Amino acid sequence: MENKTKYFMVVNKLLKEEKELLAEHIAYLAKVDFMIDPDGIYKNPCSITLRLYEVNGGNCTTNKIDKVSFITLNNIKWDGCSHWNFFGEDEDKSSYYHLCGQEDFLRFVYGMVLSVSIAKKVMPDTFDEDFFGDEYLTLEEMCKTRYDIKEVSLKQIDFYCDNCNPFK
């Protein structure tokens, strides 16, 4: 078995289009850990562990991310079964989240839907979409009109300082 990690950046398409990727366009960051068996049937994993963060601030002067908030640590399997750990806004184990109005609520829900979309990208040969119905697919389509999911290297995620980087 071989351990692998992938990083994803979810970019808000509704903000003004720029040639350069500005920190304020980034809505979520995700770190995905998984294992593959190079000698096995599948070249892709059967489950992933995903850590999802919401980007709350970008430094206008430096164009770097300067604030992120933890959303969830989850495990998503090939058959759509998932385990969600909501530890609280600062991973303080309190499981408390303050959602202020419709936009916060939608960002939280979109974050969950986008987590499954990322799982589908990491497990293209093993993920079984038949476990999701039309209502979920409608939510996923809504997310696609608002967000782009981009696989990136850790070097491509530009943090203002080491304390701002949740992946260190």
**Long-range contacts for 11-15 (Cβ within 8 Å, ≥24 apart)?**
11/147, 11/148, 11/150, 12/146, 12/147, 13/145, 13/146, 13/147, 13/148, 14/146
Q: If we measure between CA atoms, which residue out of 84, 1, 11 comes closest to residue 45?
A: 1
Domain assignment present for 165? no
pLDDT of residue 56: 81
Q: Which two tokens stand for residue 158?
A: 């530009």
Q: If we measure between CA atoms, which residue out of 14, 35, 11 comes closest to residue 122?
A: 35
pLDDT of residue 158: 83
Please report, in tens digits, the pLDDT of each residue of the chain (168 residues total).
678 899 998 988 876 555 455 666 788 888 998 887 766 666 668 889 999 988 887 766 777 888 888 888 889 988 888 888 877 655 556 667 777 888 888 888 888 889 989 988 888 888 887 777 778 888 888 888 888 899 998 888 888 878 778 887
Domain assignment present for 44? yes
pLDDT of residue 149: 92
Give the separation between CA 40 and CA 151, rounded to whole angstroms. Answer: 24
pLDDT of residue 60: 67
pTM: 0.83
Domain assignment present for 167? no
Domain assignment present for 166? no
- Structural domain total, the chain: 1
Three-state DSSP class for residue 133: coil
Residue 69: domain span: 2-157
